[in-house]
Chains A and B, each alone.
Chain A
Amino acid sequence: MTVLRTSLRNFFAHKGRMALSAVAVLLSVAFVCGTLVFTDTMNTTFDKLFNATASDVTVSAKGASDTGETTSRTGKPPVLPASVVGTVRGTKGVAEAEGTVFSTSVTVVDHDLDKLSPSSGAPTIVGNWNGNDARTMKIVSGTAPKGPDQVMVDADTVDKHHLKLGDEIGVITAVGTHHARVSGVAAFTVTNPGAAVFYLDTRTAQQILVGRTGVYTGVNVTAAPGVGDDRLKQNVTAALGAGYQVQTAKEVADANRKELGGFLDVMKYAMLGFAGIAFLVGIFLIVNTFSMLVAQRTREIGLMRAIGSSRKQVNRSVLVEALLLGVVGSALGVGAGVGIAVGLMKLMGAMGMHLSTADLTVAWTTPALGLLLGVVVTVLAAYLPARRAGKISPMAALREAGAPADARAGAVRALIGLVLTGAGGWSLRLAATADQAKDGSAWLGLGVVLTLVGLIAVGPLLAAGLVRVLGALLLRVFGPVGRMAERNALRNPRRTGATGAALMIGLALVACLSVVGSSMVASATDELDRSVGADFIVQAGDGAKPLTPAMVKAIRDTPGLTNVSRLKEVPAELTLPDGGVHKQSLYATDPAYPKDVRRTTLSGRQSDVYGRDAMSVGSDFAGKYGVKVGDTLKVAFEDGRAARLRVVAVTSDDTAIDKGKMYTAITTAGRYIPADRMPLDLGVLAGNGGDEQQVYAALRKAVAADPSVSVMDRADYKKDLREQIGQLLNMVYGLLALAIVVAVLGVVNTLALSVVERTREIGLMRALGLSRRQLRRMIRLESVVIALFGALLGLGLGMGWGATAQKLLALEGMKVLDIPWPTITGVFVGSAFVGLLAALVPAFRAARMNVLNAIATD
């Protein structure tokens, strides 16, 4: 009881000092809970959508995916004949059967040729207005589409693009471009997370999406009363025989959920990973706080021990304080987590993904997990300081100052740290020199962990050295104030070490990723310059969609181009001479392709691929399966017949572009794949045969009719690559900011507690004539030195990790190491500013102290 009472009193007596630690716990817990609530809410939203949109049983053509998506390499959805609808309708247990036509391989544009497709990556769906959709959507204005020139649009898209009834829109498909006017607006009755949906009448949909009438992409089947979905499925399957895909509503929803679940899981675990980093950093803050509180309370604890408290009691009283901190911080964190989730939903909203707060899902496990995590981490972090408190001797009550640091424990710690760092460095070296990517990444992982833990352990020792160096370089200019700041930072190397280490973790990751990112760009750029001969690259949907035949024609008709070559992906099953079977895509190209993409061949010639029934293989595949020039492989094309192709070249896989690709000629593929099933072109490459600027402009003009198609010259391509990687990095930096914020709180905390500890000193200095400004500067400089110490360690460590990762990834073609000095320097200088910022409040408070009271403080 007494223990609890003293703990409670201490906790509330130091609530100001506890506040920062509580914020650290709060932030980490909030991030965890926010992630969970957000992903759960996404799941709820999509579940509702999937359950609402699926009909009892769906029949679709073979070749459609489980989730009912109908995209295909040909740009047209797989179809089934209209007679199927009749057959199904006549089946026992069927109340209603309706043919549906829809496709997601479309681009929809408004009158100004601006894309009406969502930018969030959600699909654009064009289909016929059918009874099933009529159940889940409500026409809010206008009428359902009738006739070829009418289209109905979903309400979200209408709002986002400010469409009105009567506006003209264009639907671009592999068949061609179709124009229609908005006849109606339909709103989802459940939350639509972001898909753009366009409805046509059935005949028009068939013509635009498939190119002919009398076919459907699927059949929506409604069960007669009393007939279960599974029963219905059996009946329909029996009636239709094989060759069709029949799924119940549950199966469709499950398949959808599974596909989405994969994506959500990646997102969830990535975000939880960053929360974990924040927790790790928070641990330093908590350890530091309790160490300082214990140090400040040394005499008090000594007195408690002198009057008979046991070690255990003292130890426990500190842990109880930690428990309180953990509970308070986590409880607030859970609340803040819901706020974060709502914030994320709003952010998604700004990016085009609609989530409704009505679907906000907080599972009971979320707060439970948050609380548990927060409390356990806090108590564990406080364990060492608590143990140290228990070790305080009763004599401490009588001594003047706090107990001196245990020098031997420090030496042991430094030694362990050095050994770990050394071992970590060694495994990084092994990783850099590994010739198997798999072994290398294991060494890299081990090296990262060991060097991190090692540096944290040697932190105090390094603090003593590095702070002196930093002081000599930066602080000497500030004269005696700088010197005192340096001495203060050195006074408790363990504390400085821990504070700096917290910052180090976040910055090491930033440095590592920036090195890897910029090496990636540099390597790809380098590779591009060496092996790409094409001056222009044309792709649709940033390479995610095939080009429509109309676009390819427009490109080929553009004057001034040379070496125009197309690239198609043709999936096939290879049978090797030894009988091994491999599913593998071949890339069918035009004979100009080797001029556009120069590949090194280990044997044979790349140009021979364009002879009759020839192909090439990559060196990795060739080496692994013993395939060589002159072998004949059986190639069963998924979209056509089987062929026997002769291997005429082995291309080197020591590259980043087209690594591992097997080539064949489009003419060869054309002999085995019927024209209507021939995959569309993934991209078109071309060289410049005239005035570069003029040709470029002409090419852009040629593809202007389809805004999903982009033309890039080499400079564009490089810029695009840089931007893509830059965007990815920025996202990761944003998430790492959480860990850095917690680390900065740690710096604030350390300074605030140091100021309190040094009240008398500050009073003395003020009495001796140190001005407020000088005092503030002294604290700021101390802060800057600590921050720069952390930055130096973090950036150094991170660059080491990054360079090792690059050496390892060189095996995958990332050959160029590029250290982004502007970023590194920026982070270093930024850290100094962060230090200044962290010192703001502590410095202000120190300067405001009353001189006399400060001197009189015990």
Chain B
Amino acid sequence: MTTAVTIPRHGGTGGATAVAARARQVVKAYGAGETRVVALDHVDVDIARGRFTAIMGPSGSGKSTLMHCLAGLDTVTSGHIHLADTEITGLKDKKLTRLRRDRIGFIFQAFNLLPTLSAIENITLPMDIAGRKPDRQWLERVVETVGLAGRLKHRPNQLSGGQQQRVAVARALAARPEIIFGDEPTGNLDSRAGAEVLGFLRRSVDELGQTIVMVTHDPVAASYADRVLYLADGRIVDEMHRPTAEAVLDRMKDFDARGRTS
């Protein structure tokens, strides 16, 4: 495997890392009988703590579904999902909501921010909802890390797309969640703004020890991760550690070719 280390790396990858989230034999199916569609087909996966994991795969491979299930946004048909020591499969809406609020951060592809709230209000929203006081120092550090210090009073419609996504990143980081899920967080950005946001995610893993899971179909975005999982037809078909954009692209082409010949 070629390595083109262009980005700072988290120290030592060999050692046993604690597991932040774990899926066992997870099945997610829609419909029944003839029209039954299996989005996830007995998936086993461990998300390592303090690492940046990317989930890749072609459209319809089930990558978004996997993320939604891991994040407690969607229910599974069978199987178990644990977040650290908590089993989240089978939890009722109330507990799931609280879990999302207190232990998970989200960055969506678009429409991440409430238009009525200013940038800083958006950042502290999850803590406000929970009725918690944000940790001042930490907040300042996060805001500084994502470079938004001068724009905290702005409303989302006064910010560029890249700035909006940076606010979303800041929000995800501010509450110090155990794990952050990103659903194509750079999908709507141009490459420069995308690189910026991905840089922040990378730094938050390296400098702040954050755990991040990101769904993407962009090989460049995936190359920021420590580990890339490949999904196809609802199964994990491959993985890659310390990826580079070229390597990821090659692997994708491989799948594509195989997909076409099969």
Contacts and interface: CB of A to CB of B under 8 A. Distances in A.
19 contacts: A480-B128, A481-B129, A487-B116, A488-B116, A761-B115, A764-B114, A767-B106, A767-B108, A768-B125, A768-B129, A769-B98, A769-B101, A769-B104, A769-B130, A771-B101, A771-B129, A772-B94, A852-B68, A852-B74
B93 A484 contact: no
A268 interface: no
B160 to A, nearest CB: 13
Contacts of B73: 767, 851-852
Nearest to A485: B116
A766 B126 CA distance: 10
A697 interface: no
B114 A769 contact: no
B73 to A, nearest CB: 6
Given A479-B128, A769-B129, A769-B130, A484 B116 contact: yes
Contact of A480 (B100, B112, B129): B129
B131 interface: yes
Nearest to B102: A769
A853 to B, nearest CB: 10
A539 B115 CA distance: 70
Nearest to B172: A768
Contact of A765 (B114, B115, B130): B114
Nearest to B113: A764
Interface string B70-83: 00011000000000
Contacts of A179: none
B83 to A, nearest CB: 14
Contacts of A766: 97
A479 B106 contact: no
B30 interface: no
A768 B117 contact: no
Contacts of B108: 764, 767, 855
A770 interface: yes
A855 B73 CA distance: 11
A769 B126 contact: yes
B116 A764 contact: no
A359 to B, nearest CB: 59
B128 A761 contact: no
B100 A768 contact: yes
Contacts of B106: 767-768
Nearest to B68: A852
A491 interface: yes
A760 interface: yes
Nearest to B103: A769
A771 B128 CA distance: 12
B138 interface: no
A774 B93 CA distance: 13
Interface string B49-81: 000000000000000000010000110000000
Contacts of B116: 484, 487-488, 490-491
Nearest to B128: A480
A772 B94 CA distance: 8
Interface residues of B, number: 26
Given A480-B128, A487-B116, A771 B111 contact: no
A761 B129 contact: no
A769 B71 CA distance: 11
Contacts of A488: 116
B93 A772 contact: yes
A768 B101 contact: yes
Interface centre among B94, B116, B126 (most CB of A within 10 A): B116
Closest 4 CB pairs of A and B: A769-B101, A480-B128, A487-B116, A769-B100
Interface centre among A487, A488, A766, A770 (most CB of B within 10 A): A770
Contacts of A764: 108, 111-112, 114
Interface in A117-163: none
Nearest to B93: A772
B109 to A, nearest CB: 10
Interface centre among A768, A851, A852 (most CB of B within 10 A): A768
Contacts of A774: 129
A765 B114 CA distance: 8
Contact of A760 (B97, B111, B171): B111
Interface in A722-751: none
Contacts of A479: 128, 131
A153 B164 CA distance: 87
Interface in B166-195: 171
Nearest to B94: A771
Contacts of B97: 766, 769-772
Contacts of B129: 480-481, 765, 768-771, 774
Nearest to A858: B111
A617 B102 CA distance: 86
A764 B171 CA distance: 13
Given A774-B129, A851-B73, A855-B108, A487 B117 contact: yes
Contacts of B111: 760-761, 764, 855
A495 to B, nearest CB: 14
A772 to B, nearest CB: 7
A760 B116 CA distance: 13
A476 B238 CA distance: 52
A764 B97 CA distance: 12
Given A480-B125, A765-B114, A769-B102, 19 more contacts: A479-B128, A479-B131, A484-B114, A490-B116, A491-B115, A761-B111, A761-B115, A764-B112, A766-B97, A767-B73, A767-B108, A768-B129, A769-B98, A769-B126, A769-B129, A770-B101, A771-B97, A772-B97, A852-B73
B134 to A, nearest CB: 12
Interface centre among B68, B94, B100, B171 (most CB of A within 10 A): B100
Contacts of A761: 111, 114-115
Contacts of B100: 767-769
